[in-house]
Amino acid sequence: MRYSFPFVIVVVLVGFLLQGLSLKPDRVPSALIDRPVPNFKISSLEDSKDILTEKLFQGKISLVNVWASWCSNCKAEHRFLMSIQKTLESDVQIIGLNVHDTSIKAKRWLEKLGNPYQKVIYDAKGRLATDLGVTGTPEFFVIDKKGIIRYRQIGEMDKRDWKNKIEPLLKKLHQEE
């Protein structure tokens, strides 16, 4: 009896640990799915006098890429975004959300690698990213024409994710019009 109590505790702890191993951190649910983009008022990276708000997401389907010049995974994802940019329908825009970066480094990064974005929100302090529940870079959101968040992906977007998740969602959003 004296040894059974510690044994039970060890078994319970091992059970919790095994359950934790099966979790997929890139599939963390977002409390903002099916909710509007939070209100914000932030300058664009390209022009500090160009103040962007949540109205940016009205009237077009938006693919929002959360990135930073210091993010190594963002570089591979950036190449992928450059490749799909030309294939998107006219009612789909790619919006960059540059977080915790300096404008000089972010602009230099885009000059060097190309710019797939119609606009880049310059969120130097990460306030909008926090409101969106961003946990790191890169992250990816799909926002419908009404400004409602429909999808969130933590981690790098690649061809497989695009084919299996994003393209079917874009088709669905186009059919809902």
The DSSP-derived string for 84-145 is HHTTS-TTEEEEEEEES--HHHHHHHHHHH----SEEEEETT-HHHHHHT--SSSEEEEE-T
Is 35:57 a contact under the CB 8 Å cutoff? no
DSSP 58-79: BSSEEEEEEE-TT-HHHHHHHH
Per the DSSP assignment, residues forming a β-bridge with 154 are 139
Residue 1 reports pLDDT greater than 80:
no
Report the CATH superfamily, name and number, of domain 24-175. Answer: Glutaredoxin (3.40.30.10)
Q: Give the CA count within 13 Å in the CB-facing half-sphere of 100.
A: 12
pLDDT value at residue 34: 93
pLDDT value at residue 89: 87
Q: Report the distance separating Cα 91 and Cα 98, nearest Å.
A: 22
Residue ranges of domains in the chain: 24-175
Q: Which residue has the higher pLDDT, 103 or 28?
A: 103
Q: Give the CA count within 13 Å in the CB-facing half-sphere of 70.
A: 8
Write down the pTM of the prediction: 0.83
pLDDT value at residue 37: 96
Mean pLDDT of the chain: 88
Q: β-strand 61-67 against 41-43: which pairing, if any?
A: unpaired
Query: 89-102 pLDDT, tens per residue?
Result: 889 999 999 999 99
Is 40:132 a contact under the CB 8 Å cutoff? no
Is 139:154 a contact under the CB 8 Å cutoff? yes
Query: 16-34 pLDDT, tens per residue?
Result: 555 555 444 444 455 689 9
Query: 51-83 pLDDT, tens per residue?
Result: 999 999 999 999 999 999 999 999 989 999 999
Sign of CA dihedral 163, 62, 60, 89: negative
Q: Report the distance separating Cα 137 and Cα 28, nearest Å.
A: 14
Query: 114-146 pLDDT, tens per residue?
Result: 999 999 999 999 999 999 999 999 999 999 999
pLDDT value at residue 26: 44
